Chain A
Amino acid sequence: GENVEQHPSTLSVQEGDSAVIKCTYSDSASNYFPWYKQELGKRPQLIIDIRSNVGEKKDQRIAVTLNKTAKHFSLHITETQPEDSAVYFCAASMGFQKLVFGTGTRLLVSP
């Protein structure tokens, strides 16, 4: 089955810096890669996703890149703000199959 690894587990940056979180997946058939932001005690919120037919997608300060050959994808947050502090999860799935989540990255943005 699919296995998703995520690094780093924690990431501390200064406000205004960029943050990068990386994930690798094992199943080459996976074709959907969402990223979720979860604040303490709350539901995961989809912040951006990418399909396997696209190499990069950007939405304002957030971007995701996908390297299908290497089977890894990354989340890039630019100009970080304190409100970006949360736990971020990557996930992978194939079609209407279950999402397999990474282990999460705790991002702390210091003012």
Chain B
Amino acid sequence: GAVVSQHPSRVICKSGTSVKIECRSLDFQATTMFWYRQFPKQSLMLMATSNEGSKATYEQGVEKDKFLINHASLTLSTLTVTSAHPEDSSFYICSAESGTSGGLSEQYFGPGTRLTVT
């Protein structure tokens, strides 16, 4: 159980275009999903916390108008990178919280999306 999928796994886009990444919890309902960015050989940096039916909470330094997050249902959250630039190239990973661990944050990660902006 507790499977999280992400689509696409890899995407290459041209500078200035927008890219949408989907994160789905397949066998549980996730009231909270998280979006991370990971540069090569670095740790996971939280970008935003997404709660179903409400606006996402962005971490300091993350542009909310550039990284649009929508959490339309208990099993789907999307991250749209708008007007992508080469410096946005990174590994984007989502995670979903099952909320069944006695009130503690057990998160399940998606497989990640490698974005390359040319």
Contact = CB atoms under 8 A, between A and B. Distances in A.
Contact of B111 (A43, A100, A102): A43
| Residue of B34, B103, B105, B114 with most chain A CB atoms under a 10 A cut-off | B105
A-side interface mostly = loop
B110 A43 contact: yes
Contact of A89 (B43, B46, B112, B114): B43
Given A34-B106, A42-B111, A43-B112, A103 B44 contact: no
A103 B43 contact: yes
B-side interface mostly = strand
Contacts of B32: 96
Interface string A80-111: 00000000010001011111111110000000
Given A43-B109, A100-B46, 20 more contacts: A31-B104, A32-B104, A32-B106, A41-B91, A43-B93, A43-B111, A45-B109, A49-B106, A51-B104, A93-B105, A95-B104, A96-B32, A96-B105, A98-B46, A98-B49, A98-B105, A99-B34, A103-B42, A103-B43, A104-B43
